[in-house]
Amino acid sequence: MRQPVSEADFGRMLATFGRSAFRLETRASYALGYERADFQRFLAGNPRPPSEVDWWQEWLDQIRQLRQDGKTIARVRLLAEPMTDYQRWAQWCDPWHAEAGEEIRYMPRSRAAGIGLPLDADWWLLDETRLIIMHFTDAGEIASKELVTDLGDIAPYLTWRDLAVRNAATVEAISAARAKETAGAASRLAHPARWAG
């Protein structure tokens, strides 16, 4: 049985879980009202760091407190191919999330489909005993959230979480790969004769 979840209840559940929280993000973009102005600044080339945005800093502070309490919070984001502007913004913000203690990984959407991950909804898994399924409009606005507590219904999501984590790349791995790619490009520009022919 699924129960509707209000925004207030959702906030309380994310602040008071016991051990672990995991989210799978399946959408290529979101249209959340409180994000809109900061996303537009990013698109205009003048982004504000999350640490300077009130709503964002509150989330980062919450992550830090959860980590200090010995809890883990992680997510896997499925990337469109090519990435959307929203996803580029999310990756730009990753260092602040990592510093706060959130574990973020990425996987191409085609890879997720290939290994059998569900692609039709976002969800949070709390303590392996509560599942919050998130529904969005076509535009990316939040439509509703549902709470699932039946362990039989939750069981497949435990498998999908583990599958997602095993097959996704960490933020650190992505950053290292980009640095290596940038260094290679710089070397080719500095020594073009090496790459001729």
* Mean of all residue pLDDT scores within the chain: 93
**Phi and psi dihedrals of 60, rounded to 5?**
-65, -40
Beta bridge partners of 123: 24, 133
Answer yes or no: is pLDDT of 68 > 90.
Answer: yes
Answer yes or no: is pLDDT of 195 > 70.
Answer: no
CA distance 133 to 145: 6
Reported confidence tier of residue 180, pLDDT bands at 50, 70, 90: confident
Query: What is the radius of gyration, based on Cα positions, of the chain?
Result: 19
- The structural domains of the chain, with segments of one domain joined by +, span 2-195
CA distance 77 to 92: 14
Calculate mean pLDDT across residues 112-140: 97
pLDDT at 81: 96
Answer yes or no: is pLDDT of 176 > 70.
Answer: yes
Answer yes or no: is pLDDT of 197 > 70.
Answer: no
The model carries a pTM of 0.89
What topology is assigned to 2-195 in CATH? Endonuclease; Chain A (3.30.870)
Residue 133: is it exposed, middle or buried by C-beta count within 10 angstroms (0-12/13-18/19+)? middle
Instruction: Return the amino acid letter for 85.
Output: D
Reported confidence tier of residue 30, pLDDT bands at 50, 70, 90: very high
